[in-house]
Amino acid sequence: MKDRKANSQKQNRGISRRNFMGGAAAAAVAISTVVSSSKAAASPDTRKFKLKYAPHFGMFKNSAGNDPIDQLKFIAEQGFTAMFDNGLMGKSEDLVDKITKEMDQLGMTLGPFVLQGIGGKSFVTRDKNMRENIVKRVKEGVEFAKRANAKWALVVPGAYDNGVEWDYQTANVIENLKYCADVCEPSGLVIVIEPLNAWRNHPGLFLTKIPQAYQICRAVDSPCCKIVNDLYHQQITEGNLIPNIDMAWEEIAYFQVGDNPGRKEPTTGEINYKNIFKHLYDKGYKGVIGMEHGNSKTGKEGEQAVIEAYRTCDAF
């Protein structure tokens, strides 16, 4: 009887030990799974974006430092496949060469550089000296584009003239752009003209709307004269963003974005960028989308918020 009881107690202890060990193993697996899941959730998303969203230098300087090459590497690590720099033409030859080489190694696409800024009355006039200056500048842009491996150069046609009938000014802009296109066509450099809003940022300029830019590009009739559709400006000027994209589609070569009001990253204002990006993707857009906006928050936190905003809008 005592032997049976002792054997029974022994067996119970063995069962309890096995149950404990099995429970401990299961608990360890559960804890490991939770930890792994937590690590996965904390890991940054580095997948390439569906579209070529292009940050600019300085947008991630708190995370990447001040060196442009380090910034390019950081941008690529986050999944971006493009970059734009309005002031690229003003940088030193040595730095441009380094930027071009690094972008080539990273497989990144360069968006437009600014060739002709806002300026005064320029394209609206038929003044011969002004035309010579415009053509000279475009020739410089063609040579720079070869060095920087750039495909697009941004042009703002300048201010309007209160003393000249509007239709004459339109004809002059078309004629001046034809001269520019003739200079660009042998190299293939594409001039992209940008309508800017007059209500908040740029009063007094000639080109303000997408239909107006479309009319001009149709008249110039060259593959080297196309439109920049900056959706921030167009939301202020005319709205109706997606229908205007469709109406002017064959003349649009480049998009820029920023939310309104505030001109910060998508999701901070009234524009539904997730729908717009999906629309561009579905239409087969392969070009660059310049992130021409500020950050809504400061420091690294603000830079991470920008990345997360694009992840949100790219999740279609």
Whether 270 is catalytic: no
Least confident of 5-9, 88-92, 285-289: 5-9
Q: According to the model, what pLDDT value does residue 119 have? A: 85
Least confident of 33-47, 132-146, 156-170: 33-47
* Confidence band of 45 (pLDDT split at 50, 70, 90): confident
Query: Which residue has 């910060």 as its token pair?
Result: 264
Provide the token pair at 70: 């380090």
Provide the token pair at 307: 């990345």
Spatial distance between the Cα atoms of 135 and 132, rounded to a whole number of angstroms: 5
Average pLDDT over residues 13-40: 43
Mean pLDDT of the chain: 90
With a CB cutoff of 8 Å and minimum separation 6, the contacts of 290 are 54, 56, 84, 111, 112, 254, 255, 256, 257
Helices and strands: H and E segment counts in the chain: 11, 9
Q: According to the model, what pLDDT value does residue 289 have? A: 99
- The DSSP secondary-structure symbol of 159 reads B
**pTM, rounded to two decimals:** 0.86
Nearest CA among 90, 293, 297 for reference residue 201: 293
Q: What percent of the chain has pLDDT above 90?
A: 85
Q: pLDDT tens across 4-13, in order?
A: 444 445 454 5
pLDDT at 14 over 90: no
Q: Rounded to whole angstroms, what are the CA distances from 4 to 12, 13, 17?
A: 12, 14, 20
Q: pLDDT tens across 189-207, in order?
A: 999 999 999 999 999 999 9
pLDDT at 43 over 80: no
Whether 238 is catalytic: no
Active-site position among 102, 194, 251, 265? 194
* Confidence band of 31 (pLDDT split at 50, 70, 90): very low
Q: Which residue has the higher pLDDT, 40 or 223?
A: 223
Q: Which residue has the higher pLDDT, 150 or 46?
A: 150
Report the SS3 class of residue 169: helix
- The DSSP secondary-structure symbol of 140 reads H
DSSP output for 290-306: EE-S--SS-HHHHHHHH
Range 46-314 has CATH code 3.30.300.30: no
Nearest CA among 232, 226, 256 for reference residue 51: 256
pLDDT at 271 over 60: yes
Query: Which residue has 């690294």 as its token pair?
Result: 300
pLDDT at 40 over 50: no
Active-site position among 251, 265, 292, 303? 292
Average pLDDT over residues 92-106: 98
Average pLDDT over residues 71-81: 98
Average pLDDT over residues 44-72: 96
* Confidence band of 262 (pLDDT split at 50, 70, 90): very high
Q: What percent of the chain has pLDDT above 70?
A: 86
Spatial distance between the Cα atoms of 249 and 227, rounded to a whole number of angstroms: 9
